[in-house]
């Protein structure tokens, strides 16, 4: 049976993907807590939970040993899904927060891909990474997140070409707004950032942050479910000739068009959208 590792499988896109793929494959579901381990283990015999913290190379090594023992050293696919959002004005973001954003969203996929590539190469398998339309167009007050997703775009492009001689397909998924706990955490992170602002910072950014949160709430109303992304991930894993990128969601397609506008026009358009929020 096909074997697939999904990181960040306890909620959102990762959870929906593990469920969908487990219908026809053995899914190793990367989780970080005992409660999530137990919950994923109760979902069926084709879902095998593994402890996996993507920023911890020792944790990754232990997960690799576990999976290798169960598969004989072969893994057909990896879905790099684990991610977080750091929100706030770049002028006031704590360096530690920015570093954490890149540790999870950029270094994490790199560490996991490096660890499992020998197994995937043996299977001539696939690596699917969850990016974001935010990797095509930065929005204000989520600059750290967008920066991490721009980095994922570059990494995926390089890895895709590097893997051509080995028959390994490398694919990027670019969703728009998705109804997941990550979106809710984004809103909470923005609120927490605003609450931490000094009086000077609040005077500078309090109102813009409020408008960005209002704008995000409107986008959330039209967000699609994680199951839609899971369906696209399955397509990327099973298509004979998968696309290099899959844009998911109407809002993502609209943002892709906006991203291609001249910067001066794009900036004014985004500013006007936020002003009306």
Domains in the chain (CATH in brackets) are 2-180+224-258 (3.40.50.720)
187 vs 228, higher pLDDT? 228
Q: If DSSP codes are grouped into helix, strand and coil, which group holds residue 67?
A: helix
Question: Within 13 Å, how many C-alpha atoms sit on residue 45's CB side?
Answer: 1
| Residues belonging to the active site | 145
- How would residue 88 be classed by pLDDT, with cut points 50, 70 and 90? confident
Mean pLDDT of 37-41: 95
User: What is the structure's pLDDT at 276?
Assistant: 76
pTM value is 0.93
- Rounded to the nearest integer, the mean pLDDT of the chain is 92
Of the chain, the percentage scoring pLDDT greater than 70 comes to 95
- How would residue 188 be classed by pLDDT, with cut points 50, 70 and 90? low
User: What is the structure's pLDDT at 206?
Assistant: 81
User: What is the structure's pLDDT at 212?
Assistant: 79
Distance CA 173, CA 165 (A): 22
Distance CA 15, CA 40 (A): 9
Mean pLDDT of 85-113: 95
82 vs 191, higher pLDDT? 82
186 membership: H or E segment, kind and range: helix 181-196
Contacts of 195 (CB under 8 A, 6+ apart): none
Question: Kind of pairing, strands 77-80 and 47-51?
Answer: unpaired
């Amino acid at each position: 049976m096909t074997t697939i590792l999904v990181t960040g499988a306890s909620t959102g896109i990762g959870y929906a993907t593990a469920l969908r793929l487990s219908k026809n494959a053995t899914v190793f579901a990367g989780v970080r807590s005992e409660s999530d381990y137990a919950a994923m283990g109760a979902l069926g015999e084709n879902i095998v939970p593994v402890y996996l913290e993507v920023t911890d190379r020792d944790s990754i090594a232990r997960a690799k040993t576990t999976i290798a023992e169960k598969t004989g050293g072969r893994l057909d696919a990896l879905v790099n899904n684990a991610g977080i959002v750091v929100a706030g004005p770049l002028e006031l973001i704590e360096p530690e927060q920015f570093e954490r954003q890149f540790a999870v969203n950029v270094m994490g996929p790199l560490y996991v891909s490096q660890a499992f590539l020998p197994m995937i190469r043996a299977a001539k398998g696939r690596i699917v990474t969850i990016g974001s339309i935010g990797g095509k167009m930065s929005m204000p007050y989520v600059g750290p997140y967008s920066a991490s997703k721009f980095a994922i775009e570059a990494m995926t492009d390089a890895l895709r070409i590097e893997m051509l001689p080995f028959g390994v397909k490398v694919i990027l998924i670019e969703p728009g707004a998705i109804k997941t706990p990550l979106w809710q955490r984004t809103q909470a992170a923005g609120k927490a950032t605003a609450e931490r602002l000094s009086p000077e910072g609040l005077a500078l950014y309090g109102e813009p942050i409020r408008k960005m949160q209002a704008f995000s709430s409107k986008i959330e109303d039209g967000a699609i479910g994680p199951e839609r992304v899971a369906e696209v991930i399955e397509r990327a894993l099973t298509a004979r000739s998968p696309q290099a990128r899959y844009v998911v969601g109407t809002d993502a397609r609209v943002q892709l068009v906006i991203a291609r506008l001249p910067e001066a026009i794009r900036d004014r358009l985004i500013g006007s959208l936020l002003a009306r929020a």
